[in-house]
């Protein structure tokens, strides 16, 4: 008894061959010269006339034969596809993670869907934003996000000052140089907030999705090992179409 995975392995080759041969049959039937034949004999008007040999061209392609050949080719494709689809209806397996059944008796079509979705989810999780490792973060429930400890910094302002380089005399005014001094005028208290995730959280999520991916692949292989439900439908279809 064939297994579903064997049917799937064969199906691609059967499809390819069927398409190729159907295309060739279509092209052959579009060439009138191959479908045409002739037989000509020559009889002179009288006994003294020139004798010419007969001419003939055989029919190289018979449309009815091409129809039957095409039906035979496609019957194999119809049967193997029906066998796969009928078996898909009963092929099921448990998705088991860490020894526990997460999803019982999942149809193989859904397992294939899950497998694709988990690839997309893995990409999504891998690109999640991560908290800046240079900061120390704690969760702030009131803000519903992560926050750093408050850091105090000073605010300064440049105040002009005069520096007397030379005192005034009876003959010369004082020589004064203006310079600016940074003077503290206040204090900033800064808390940084972030909606990103701790690196460990992202790492844990990735690890979970990878475990589920492995479990789904294993289940898919198990479901693919189901006994094929052999179907013979092609002959019925083409007997109706071409008889």
Q: Are residues 181 and 220 in the same domain?
A: no
33-64 residue pLDDT tens = 888 899 999 888 888 888 899 999 998 889 88
pLDDT of 40 reads 92
CB contact burial 153-182 (16+ within 10 A = b; e otherwise): eeeeeeeeeeeeeeeeeeeeeeeeeeeeee
Q: What is the pTM of this model?
A: 0.70
Q: Give the chain's mean pLDDT.
A: 91
- Domain holding 66, by residue range, is 1-91+229-243
Asked if the model's pLDDT at residue 92 lies above 90, the reply is yes
Instruction: Give the H or E element holding residue 80.
Output: helix 63-90
Q: Are residues 1 and 77 in the same domain?
A: yes
Q: Are residues 115 and 214 in the same domain?
A: yes
The helix/strand/coil state of 17 is helix
Q: Are residues 44 and 109 in the same domain?
A: no
State how many domains the chain has.
3
Q: Are residues 164 and 104 in the same domain?
A: no
Q: For 35, left (φ over 0), alpha (ψ -120 to 50), or beta?
A: alpha
Q: Are residues 129 and 202 in the same domain?
A: yes
- CB count, 10 Å around CB of 118? 18
Q: Are residues 181 and 201 in the same domain?
A: no
Q: Are residues 159 and 45 in the same domain?
A: no
Q: Are residues 62 and 9 in the same domain?
A: yes
Within a domain: 145: no
pLDDT of 177 reads 84
pLDDT of 167 reads 76
Q: Are residues 67 and 100 in the same domain?
A: no
Q: Are residues 106 and 125 in the same domain?
A: yes
117-172 residue pLDDT tens = 999 999 999 999 999 999 999 999 999 999 999 999 999 999 988 777 777 777 77
Q: Are 164 and 146 in contact (CB under 8 A)?
A: no
180-228 residue pLDDT tens = 888 998 999 999 999 999 999 999 999 999 999 999 999 999 999 999 9
């Amino acid at each position: 008894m064939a297994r579903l995975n064997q049917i799937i392995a064969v199906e691609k080759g059967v499809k390819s061959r069927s398409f190729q041969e159907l295309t060739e049959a279509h092209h052959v039937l579009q060439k009138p010269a191959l479908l045409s034949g002739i037989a000509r004999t020559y009889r002179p008007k009288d006994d003294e006339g020139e004798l010419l040999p007969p001419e003939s061209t055989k029919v190289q392609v018979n449309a009815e034969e091409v129809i039957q050949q095409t039906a035979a080719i496609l019957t194999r494709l119809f049967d193997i596809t029906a066998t796969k689809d009928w078996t898909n209806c009963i092929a099921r397996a448990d998705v088991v993670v860490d020894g526990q059944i997460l999803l019982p008796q999942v149809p193989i079509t859904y397992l294939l869907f899950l497998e694709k979705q988990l690839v997309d989810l893995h990409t999504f999780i891998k690109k999640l934003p991560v908290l800046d490792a240079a900061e120390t973060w704690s969760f702030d429930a009131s803000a519903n996000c992560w926050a750093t400890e408050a850091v105090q910094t000073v605010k300064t302002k440049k105040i002009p000052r005069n520096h007397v380089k030379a005192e005034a005399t009876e003959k010369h005014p004082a020589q004064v140089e203006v310079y600016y001094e940074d003077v503290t005028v206040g204090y900033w208290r800064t808390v940084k907030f972030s909606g990103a995730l701790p690196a460990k959280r992202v790492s844990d999520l990735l690890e979970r999705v990878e475990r589920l991916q492995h479990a789904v692949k294993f289940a898919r292989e198990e479901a693919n090992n189901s006994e094929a439900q052999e179907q013979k439908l092609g002959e019925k279809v083409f007997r109706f179409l071409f008889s």
